[in-house]
A and B are shown apart, each in its own frame.
Chain A
Amino acid sequence: MSAPEASSALGLRLPATEPTAQPAVPTIPWYTRHAVTLGSLAFGVAFLLTWQLLPPALGVPSYIIPTVSDLIAEAGRMAARERLIYHFASTFFIGSIGFIVGSLLGAAIGYVLGMSTLLEKILSPYLLGLQIAPKVAFAPLFIMWLGYNAWPKLIVTILVVFFPILVNVLQSMKTVDRDMINLARAYSMSRMQIFWKIEVPASMPALMAGLRIGATLAVIGVTVGELVGGNTGLGYLITFGEGQANTAMVFNAIILLTIIGIVLYGVVAFIEARVLHYIPRAIR
């Protein structure tokens, strides 16, 4: 053998490692790096094309399943004739306000109950009952009490958002590491210092998970409120479209409601990425 060889401690003859030029790592082509994105896009395009072409090919009339181009045309008509922007804005506004108020109330009460074990124990069976009760079924009651205006929709939305956030916050308050609290106590921290410095930050992952759930539920709450009563909002357009056998209108309203949900969810995800920056990405 011509190359010099080094012997290891065990007397094994190992080939000497010589500093050699690093072999060029082949660069990954762009279509491999973005394979997932491209795949998703391709699926979306294929889905829309199928929707556009398949029902007419099978002879399904457009009042049963409107094509994509029917939907776009109807959206234009709705914007011009049915005050679509106004209805969309109303739903978006009430959904957002309901989500924010419901989240604040849910979190606040979750923290209060989390700090008072006694109160939590006394109220927990009722909380469980209310959590299980279908909140949207209260909508007709609120309409009877408050009339055909924005309040019933707002209250249903708040109610729907409230519970998952309360439950998540309460659960996280109950599972804060006791040793962490004892450490703070040993440092002579007050109850409020322990709350603000340990319990509140420790509950953030659970609060954020609750907000994600709440964001999707807010859209359900406001939609049911609008379906049941009133003459405003995308939920109203759904019942109005139903009355006219206008499936395209119903489809459009559903798509816009979904967009509102995505926006709310996106805002939560955006806030979460900033609040929970200290959690490594792989775990989050």
Chain B
Amino acid sequence: MPNTASVLDLISVTKRFVAPDGVSQLTAIEQVTMNVRAGEFVAVVGPSGCGKSTILNLVSGLDRASEGRIVLNGAPVTGPNPSVGFMLQKDLLLPWRTIVSNVEFGLEARGLSAAERRERALRELKRCRLDDFANSYPYQLSGGMRQRAALARTLAIEPAIVLLDEPFSALDAQTKMILQKSFAQTIASEGITTVLITHDLLEAATMSDRILVMSERPGRIIDEIIVDLPDRDNPMARMHQPKVKQYVDRLMATLHLEEKVA
């Protein structure tokens, strides 16, 4: 269970972009305040274009907030830093590298010897049950295995927090369920602090401890749901819980999904 130490804090964070016309401004997120405690699994859901991915870019230090502060492990985020691991819908594996050397990729900007890197990468692959494929190339793996390899690469840098940006949305429905379980097991067994950005409401309810709901652009946090369910390490078991439906219903109501037309 999560303890109380805060790993990530966003304090009144606003991000504005210059619109494509080069003159007017677009507000991606506005006055977002949230925190993630050590070992916690927080899901962020919202309609497409609500600035979920902006949060990821800000926390990973790839982009700067226009207003507000982002604090990671007690220090303000001012640029890319080694305590954040992130993963996208695309696996972003380098096709010319073997799986093990892809996992080593994140370690290469650090002062580690080649032997240390290899050792850590192999350990991570073992944890993600991919050690048999260490010397394969990405094209030889299935989509689900590639995402597991991407997770291994993300975890190899031993980040304080892992940001997952819709990591399962490119997979077929069944592979997705299997992979969600696999990720949940790995994350729970290591007590990894995680933020999952998703638009899949069921995924949010079955995988997280807490769900933050964002509004349409400009994105604000409009609801917070504490997921009071056992089996966080097994989303498939959670799916059978009647309460999951209640959470999904509440999310649908908050996002006004039934009033919308395509």
Contacts and interface: CB of A to CB of B under 8 A. Distances in A.
Given A185-B80, A278-B96, A197 B61 contact: no
Contact of A186 (B86, B90, B108): B86
A4 interface: no
Given A185-B80, A190-B109, A193-B108, A180 B137 contact: no
B47 interface: no
A183 B165 CA distance: 13
Interface residues on B, range: 20 to 34
B108 A201 contact: no
Contacts of A187: 80, 82, 105-106, 108-109, 157
A278 B139 contact: yes
Chain B facing A: main interface SS: loop
A182 B86 CA distance: 10
A143 interface: no
B62 A197 contact: no
A201 B137 CA distance: 15
B211 interface: no
Nearest to B62: A182
Contacts, number: 52
Question: Chain A interface: which size bin?
Answer: 20 to 34
Contacts of B139: 278-280
B159 to A, nearest CB: 10
A198 interface: yes
A177 B230 CA distance: 40
A188 B86 CA distance: 13
A160 B192 CA distance: 57
B80 to A, nearest CB: 5
B198 interface: no
B61 A186 contact: yes
A161 to B, nearest CB: 25
Contact of A179 (B80, B92, B106, B138): B92
Nearest to B60: A186
Given A186-B62, A186-B86, A279-B139, A204 B109 contact: no
Contacts of A123: none
B92 A278 contact: no
Nearest to A194: B109
Nearest to A201: B96
Contacts of B108: 187, 189, 193, 197
B92 A186 contact: no
A204 B97 CA distance: 13
A182 B84 CA distance: 13
A187 B81 CA distance: 7
B88 interface: yes
A109 B92 CA distance: 27
Interface in B114-158: 137-139, 157
Interface in B72-106: 80-82, 84, 86, 88, 90, 92, 94-97, 105-106
A201 B80 contact: no
Nearest to B89: A179
A176 to B, nearest CB: 11
B88 A179 contact: yes
A89 B106 CA distance: 50
Given A186-B60, A187-B106, A188-B109, A198 B94 contact: yes
Given A179-B90, A179-B92, A187-B106, A278 B62 contact: no
A222 B108 CA distance: 45
A248 to B, nearest CB: 49
Interface in A175-212: 177, 179-180, 182-190, 193, 197-198, 201, 204
Given A193-B108, A197-B105, A183 B80 contact: no
B92 A177 contact: yes
B87 to A, nearest CB: 9
A186 B84 contact: yes
Nearest to A185: B80
B154 to A, nearest CB: 10
Contacts of A182: 57, 62
Interface of B: 57, 60-62, 80-82, 84, 86, 88, 90, 92, 94-97, 105-106, 108-109, 137-139, 157
26 contacts: A177-B90, A179-B90, A179-B92, A182-B57, A182-B62, A185-B62, A185-B80, A186-B62, A186-B80, A186-B84, A187-B82, A187-B105, A187-B157, A188-B82, A188-B109, A197-B94, A197-B105, A198-B94, A201-B94, A204-B96, A278-B97, A278-B137, A278-B138, A278-B139, A279-B139, A280-B139
Given A186-B61, A278-B137, 20 more contacts: A177-B92, A179-B90, A185-B62, A185-B80, A187-B80, A187-B105, A187-B106, A187-B108, A187-B109, A188-B81, A188-B109, A189-B108, A189-B109, A197-B105, A197-B108, A198-B94, A204-B96, A278-B95, A278-B96, A278-B138
